[in-house]
Amino acid sequence: MSESENKWIGKNTIRPDGADKVTGRAAFAADANMPGMIWGKVLRSPHAHAVIKGIDTSKAEALPGVKAVVTATDIIDFPVDTPVPLGIQDMRWMTRNVMAREKALFHGHPIAAVAAMSEAIAAEACKLIEVDYEVLPHAIEIDDALADDAPILHDFIEFDGKPSNIAGTLEHTKGDVEAGFAEADVIIERDFTTRPVHQGYIEPHACLVSVAPDDKTTIWSSSQGQFMVRAMTALLTGIPQSSIRAIPAEIGGGFGGKTIVYLETLATILAKKSGLPVKMVMTREEVMRASGPTSGSKSTVKIGAKKDGTITAAEGFYWLQAGGLPGSPIRGAAGCALAPYDIPNGHTFGYDVVCNRSKVAVYRAPGAPIGAFGVECVLDELAEELGMDPLDLRLKNAAKEGTKAVHGPTYPVMGYAESLEAAKVHDHYKAPLGPNQGRGVASGFWFNAGGESSAQVNITEDGNVVVTTGHPDIGGSRAGIANICAELLGIDYRRVSVLIGDTATVGFSNLTGGSRVLFASSMVVTESTNNVIGTLCELAAKIWDIDPEAVTWENGEARPAGANAGQFPPLTLEELAARANETGGPIGAGSQLNTAGAEGGFGTHICDVEVDQELGIVRVLRYTVLQDVGRAVHPAYVEGQMQGGAVQAIGWALNEEYVYDKDGRVDNPGFLDYRMPVASDMPMIDTYIIEIPNPKHPQGVRGVGEVPLVPGLAAVRNAIYDALGIRFNSLPMSPPVILDARNRKEAAE
């Protein structure tokens, strides 16, 4: 079907869950209640690092109104010497993250949990729990954790034959880097640091769990995957998956941070012990102290090029904070850093460093913004050194179809160079700048993911459609699914309801993550819808008494084709549904796939800033996001991903950071002091959608949501350099940092 014939794909339809979301009806996790429900609260470690020598819960249990207490001994242990992978997680670390086991590894680490008749009683009971700690020295920053005399978090972790806080490494190599640098006319090598930042979802973690005496468990929670909630809860409690029904509440933002459980396991055990439904809701302070964030990092990036701009070699070393337990996104940092470029000799190396911070969680293209930051900053400097336009330098080295990436794959057709070419001719790139203003550009890559998805498409008796998929809708994916299903069936999109099933009503579907939801769910919805169309044609053939092959489906109706064309009046979806009972029964089809072919995504950003020389404040004046999205099934929500990702990058670049005190406690665990962008900080964010269809997807879709975070850190930084003549290699570039650097520069001049 040609573009112009599309009725719904590419149209900004009203989202199926829209009316619920604008009227307050939509039920998020904390909105659920059950009769007889009680409240759970978590006791958290007051120390950044301590051995737990003993826990006495007797006084808490004796407090009137307390119904159950849980400690690590109630949760299934996974010994540290045997990996238990679940997706990208490892249950050895997950069991120790939901509840401290041998040690408290960060301030705020759960130690015990209580369920009581009210939140106030539960909180009171937490104070009555006596914990015998042996307080240990802590390590917050990477350099603290890597120092020769660093406190070792885990005695079972060794590196280079010695106890270490380096929990793992990852390396990519292509060609001969040494030889490549020897060919270079210019080599630039710089060190960088980035700070941990929180995903910043506005909805705190929350859940409501009921466990019947036969262990039949119902979990209502907000997550990026009801099947993840079921699997992790089953592993951590011993209740079989078939007995757990995980219901996905509407999710109030996740950005990766809700791809693991925090409360669900605790609430399940509390509910089982008490025999009562248990509700748990984190405070914002708990969210900031004990969930997320993404890693802080330090890195060294070295790139060499010939005079004409041809990159001959590139190398990057990345150290990423994992928090208290292993698992930082070194794959994203080391894998994505050089991915936009055709580099003959490349080498990246990532170190996973444990430290006494909350365990990191996935955050939008995890690791990739860290990887890209150093590379895109060095390229900016290289361009200046070579006297080249920074977009031209990138274009000269841009990866394209057939390029073998340093991290391994050979690229299929994709639109990175197109994003650079579009940036070059964009009005924004040519617009004049005023005093104290500067412009920066940067690019970025994200892997994108496929994986398991399931869907069911049912035709209702009145000839409308209900689509059920298994992915929590985090940003409008239901609207895209409605567009695709309506397009295939040739009916108005408003006749298609799109629902998110729970773990008992739809087949296994992997996480809402990896920018995979519309990519993967549209594949199963397409297959299901096409099967439904096949059934509809068969029913029509039966009614007309002709071959099913002699029936075509067009514009929402079955038509006789071939030799029979025009012999019978068409049968509409409504007519066929009404006669389903006499012609064959219910009309519906399901599909389960392990989807493949997601292919990576690329984008380029242009950022203009103005630096206030008195206050050190950087104002973003104009921002443009250019990205190959494959096919924009619902353009407004595609733009929304591009805009939202860019603004998160601006926050990361300019303001967001945790402030720790000398005892290893977060000093700014709230939105007042952890300064995310607000409406008055931001300009409009322009978007430029490039559509080079993904040949491995029925509608040409590529993942969209994560790429737009990746280039932003360096785009802002390069713009500040253009405005101020100072290259900042550490984030955030907050007002005191800017002022200090400006004053030092002035003093030196």
Partner 1 sequence: MAKIHVTTKINGEPIEFLCDPSETMLDALRNELGLTGSKEGCGSGDCGACSITLDDRLVCSCLMLAAEAEGKEINTIEGMAEGENLHPLQEKFLEEAALQCGICTPGMLVAAKALLDQNPNPTETEVRFWLAGNLCRCTGYDKIIRAVLDTAAEMREAAQ
Contacts with partner 1, residue ranges (CB under 8 A): 12, 14-15, 17-19, 21-28, 30-31, 199-204, 250-255, 281, 283-284, 474-476, 479, 634, 636-637, 639-641, 643-648, 670-672, 676-682, 684-685
CA angle 685, 686, 687 (to 5 degrees): 120
Least distance from C-beta 219 to partner 1, angstroms?
Answer: 19
**Contacts of residue 172, Cβ cutoff 8 Å, sequence gap at least 6:** 334, 335, 346, 347, 348, 349, 406, 407, 408
Q: Which residues contact 716 (CB under 8 A, 6 or more apart)?
A: 440, 607, 609, 618, 620, 649, 650, 653, 654, 733
Q: How far apart are CA 556 and CA 410, in angstroms?
A: 41
Q: How far apart are CA 704 and CA 599, in angstroms?
A: 11
Question: Which amino acid appears at position 347 of this protein?
Answer: H
At closest approach, how far in Å is the CB of 409 from partner 1?
30
Instruction: Enumerate residues 6+ apart whose C-beta is below 8 A from 24.
Output: none
664 vs 708, beta carbon nearer partner 1: 708
Nearer to partner 1, 171 or 492 (CB): 492
**Residue among 284, 280, 311 nearest 177 (CA):** 311
The CB-of-672 to partner 1 minimum distance in angstroms stands at 5
Closer of 82 and 680 to partner 1 (Cβ): 680
Dump the DSSP string for 525-562: HHHHHHHHHHHHHHHHHHHHTS-GGGEEEETTEEEE-G
Q: Which residue, 366 or 463, is less far from partner 1 as judged by CB?
A: 366
- Cα–Cα nearest to 448, from 260, 710, 199, 168: 710
Q: Which is nearer to partner 1, 187 or 676 (CB)?
A: 676
Closer by beta carbon to partner 1, 23 or else 82: 23
* Smaller CB separation from partner 1, 225 or 644: 644
Nearest to 367 by CA among 258, 253, 300, 444: 444
Task: For the CB of residue 14, give the shortest distance to partner 1 in the complex, in Å.
Answer: 5
CA distances in angstroms from 486 to 4, 406, 572, 692, listed in the order given: 16, 41, 14, 23
Identify the three-state secondary structure at position 163: strand
CA distances from 593 to 401, 499, 510 (A): 27, 18, 11
Q: How far is the CB of 651 from partner 1 (least distance, A)?
A: 9
Please say which residue, 13 or 348, places its beta carbon nearer to partner 1.
13
Which of residues 13 and 419 has its CB atom nearest to partner 1 in the complex?
A: 13
Nearer to partner 1, 284 or 727 (CB): 284
Length of the chain: 749
CB of 477 to partner 1, least distance (A): 10
- The Cα-based distances of 161 to 154, 158, 252 in angstroms read 14, 6, 45
Q: Any residues with CB less than 8 A from the CB of 122 and at least 6 apart, and which?
A: 38, 39, 40, 41, 66, 114, 115, 116
Angle at 646 between CA 645 and CA 650, to 5 degrees: 120
For partner 1, the closer of residues 284 and 542 by Cβ is 284
Strands (E), 117-198: 130-135, 158-159, 162-163, 166-174, 186-194
Smallest gap from Cβ 42 to partner 1, in A, equals: 16
Rg (alpha carbons) of the chain, rounded to whole number: 27
Q: Rounded to the nearest whole angstrom, what is the least distance from the CB of residue 685 to partner 1 in the complex? A: 5
Nearer to partner 1, 281 or 368 (CB): 281
- Closest of 225, 221, 224 to residue 264, by C-alpha: 221
Q: How far is the CB of 637 from partner 1 (least distance, A)?
A: 6
The candidate with the shortest Cα–Cα distance to 326, out of 292, 360, 366, 287, is: 360
Least separation in angstroms between CB 482 and partner 1: 13
Q: How far apart are CA 301 and CA 320, in angstroms?
A: 14
Give the number of other Cβ atoms within 10 Å of residue 136's Cβ: 18
Q: How far is the CB of 226 from partner 1 (least distance, A)?
A: 16
Q: Within 13 A of 526's CA, how many CA atoms are on the CB side? A: 16
**Nearest distance in Å: CB 221, partner 1:** 14
Closer residue to partner 1 (CB): 344 or 705: 705
Nearest approach, Cβ of residue 140 and partner 1 (Å): 24
